[in-house]
Amino acid sequence: MTTSPEPRSGCPVQNSTSRATATWQSLLEHDSRHDPYPLYARLRDSGPVQQLDDGAFLVTGYDEILQVVHDPRISSDLLAGRPETAEAGPALTSAFVMKDPPIHGRLRGQTMRHFGPPHRAGYVDSLRGDIARTARSLVDAFPASGTIDLVEAFAYPLPVLMICDVLGVPHEDEPRFHAWSASIIAPPEATAPEEAAMLEEEASTATSELGAYLTHLAEIHRGTPQGDLLSGLVNDDSDESLSTSEIISTAIMLLIGGHETTVNMIANGALTLLRHPGELEQLRRDPSSMPRVFEELLRLEPPAQVTPKYVALENVPVGDVTITKGSPVWIAWAAANRDPRHFTDPDRFDPLRADRDHLGFGAGIHACFGAPLARLETQIALTELFTRLDDVQLVDDPPPYRRNPLLRGPSRLDVTFSRILGPQAER
């Protein structure tokens, strides 16, 4: 395979389509997981909007993505344009991430009443202390020195304990969630049709079981609000409050979000910093620079790489390509974050860069609901990690990766360190 950009003149449709599909398929292969960026670059360079052989349009350019996700002719509803079907049970596909306005607005707005502004403006900010205590206790539990898997010991438990607290799920039930969540996001990992069918089946079973568990939990919270989001939703008596089915779908989505993204954000962030010792040393000397460092980490290594959920309701021209009516549209945020037409020297990790408007949390009305929580968790986690562990070194570079190409991150991140320093407050 060549890495040279495709010519854009002439009649490139047939040719570039199959080439784009081949590149996309390489991207899905597990071998590409540790560094998909040259493949994203190849796709983007040969056309920021391209149709794959299965009919889907893949959008990889920064400006093009912003255009598409703000276009009201692009729907997020899988059922858009199709005949109405009987309402399915609670599932990720009926959560607001897969809905259009006005339903989206009502579901997201009602959920936001219990999470953020304007109704609960200080809530996420009030979790800073809990996040810091949780991060500190996880580091306290590390061995005094030696080798540790940061994913298992740190990047996984921190956001998962926090999402359990936010949602109102008992910590002791967490292992069951881990299994359900992993099954629900597994289907894109399939490499063969039989495997896909099996993974879909397992995902469906997991969704039902998780839904049943959450329904039971919701009943426990009904009438006895605990200050958590699930309590808030089941005890909401405002005009547009959510039905039980809507609450369960929303809770499933938030649990998946809490399990499958921030974990990668922390692990990707730690890995990237360990690969850039100069910047890491700078950060250790001046932890107040973390907000900028974080945004740059998210630009460079976004956990949510591609969102394959949109569909065109009409022919939508984007640049010199027309996304045809009825086609699926896949948004490759990870490619846009390194688009050289928008970011100077895009592959370089540069926390001081002026162009910081990355798309790591998405854009438009479906921009990440949990972004403020994920941002605080990751910033606090990485600060705790690198101010307390001395002489941290990567064991394997690249580390092994999880199979999922859309929600990307290391499956293990073994590091060595020489000692643990006391918590900052005690030093």
Partner 1 sequence: MHIAVDMTRCQSYAQCAFLAPDVFQFEGEEALVYDPEPSEELRARVEQSAAACPVQAIRLDGERKRPTPSTSAPSALTAADRVVVVGASLAGLTAVETLRSGGFTGPVTVIGDEPNEPYDRPPLSKQVLRGTAAAAGTRLPRASDLDVEWRLGTAATGLDLGTRTVLLADGGRVPYDRVLIATGTRARPWPVSHEAALDGVHTLRTAADAADLRAQLVARPHRVLVIGGGFTGSEIASACRRLDIPVTLVDRGPAPLSRALGETVGDVLAAIQRDHGVDLRSSTTVTSLRADAHGAVAAATLSDGTEVDADVVVVAIGALRNTEWLLESGISIGPLGVDCDASCRALRPDGSIVDGVFVAGDVAASPHPSGDGRRISMEHWGNAVGQATVAADNMRTDGLARHDEVPVFWSNQFGHVIKSVGAPESADTVVITQGSTARRAFVAVYGAGDRIVGAIALDHVKWIEHYRHQIGSGAGFPPEGQNIDPPPRAESGIRPRLRTPDPITTQASDGRTAL
Query: Measuring CA to CA, how many Å separate 309 from each of 87, 100, 118?
Result: 19, 12, 29
**What's the closest the beta carbon of residue 218 comes to partner 1, in angstroms?**
25
The string of DSSP letters for 180-234 reads HHHHHH-GGG--SHHHHHHHHHHHHHHHHHHHHHHHHHHHHHTTS--SSHHHHHH
Q: In this structure, which amino acid lies at residue 94?
A: S
Query: Is residue 78 near partner 1 by the rule CB under 8 A?
Result: no
Query: Is residue 122 near partner 1 by the rule CB under 8 A?
Result: yes
Query: Of residues 32, 48, 65, 71, which one binds partner 1 by CB under 8 A?
Result: 71
Query: Of residues 5, 7, 55, 81, which one binds partner 1 by CB under 8 A?
Result: 81
Query: Is residue 66 near partner 1 by the rule CB under 8 A?
Result: yes
Using CB under 8 A, which of the segments 7-15, 41-49, 94-102, 402-410 binds partner 1?
A: 94-102
Annotate 337-402 with three-state secondary structure: CCCCCCCCCCCCCCCCCCCCCCCCCCCHHHCCCCHHHHHHHHHHHHHHHHHHEECCEECCCCCCEC
Q: In this structure, which amino acid lies at residue 408?
A: R
Using CB under 8 A, which of the segments 9-17, 30-38, 266-274, 288-296 binds partner 1?
A: 288-296
Tokens of 5: 């950009």
- Cβ closest to partner 1, residue 171 vs residue 325: 325
Q: In this structure, which amino acid lies at residue 212?
A: A
Contacts of 278 (CB under 8 A, 6+ apart): none
Task: Check: CB of residue 374 under 8 Å from CB of residue 302.
Answer: no
Binding positions for partner 1, 292-351, rule CB under 8 A: 292, 294-295, 313-315
CA angle, 50 then 56 then 62, to 5°: 45
Query: Is residue 124 near partner 1 by the rule CB under 8 A?
Result: yes
**What's the closest the beta carbon of residue 200 comes to partner 1, in angstroms?**
27
Binding residues with partner 1: total (CB under 8 A): 46
Query: Is residue 121 near partner 1 by the rule CB under 8 A?
Result: yes
Residue 26, burial from CB neighbour count under 10 angstroms (0-12, 13-18, 19+): middle
- Cβ closest to partner 1, residue 99 vs residue 276: 99
- What CA–CA distance (Å, rounded) separates 150 from 95? 31
Query: Is residue 102 near partner 1 by the rule CB under 8 A?
Result: yes
Query: Of residues 40, 48, 59, 77, which one binds partner 1 by CB under 8 A?
Result: 77
Contacts of 106 (CB under 8 A, 6+ apart): 240
Query: Measuring CA to CA, how many Å separate 99 from each of 74, 79, 81, 313?
Result: 12, 9, 13, 14
Query: Is residue 141 near partner 1 by the rule CB under 8 A?
Result: no
Using CB under 8 A, which of the segments 118-126, 156-164, 384-392, 413-421 binds partner 1?
A: 118-126
Query: Is residue 356 near partner 1 by the rule CB under 8 A?
Result: yes
Query: Measuring CA to CA, how many Å separate 102 from each of 4, 106, 327?
Result: 44, 6, 22
Query: Is residue 371 near partner 1 by the rule CB under 8 A?
Result: yes
Binding positions for partner 1, 145-174, rule CB under 8 A: none
Query: Is residue 72 near partner 1 by the rule CB under 8 A?
Result: yes
Query: Is residue 364 near partner 1 by the rule CB under 8 A?
Result: yes
Query: Is residue 105 near partner 1 by the rule CB under 8 A?
Result: yes
**What's the closest the beta carbon of residue 314 comes to partner 1, in angstroms?**
4
**Which residues of this protein are in contact with partner 1, per CB under 8 A?**
66-67, 70-75, 77, 80-81, 100-102, 105, 109, 116-118, 121-122, 124-125, 288, 291-292, 294-295, 313-315, 354-357, 359, 361, 363-365, 367, 371-372, 375-376, 379
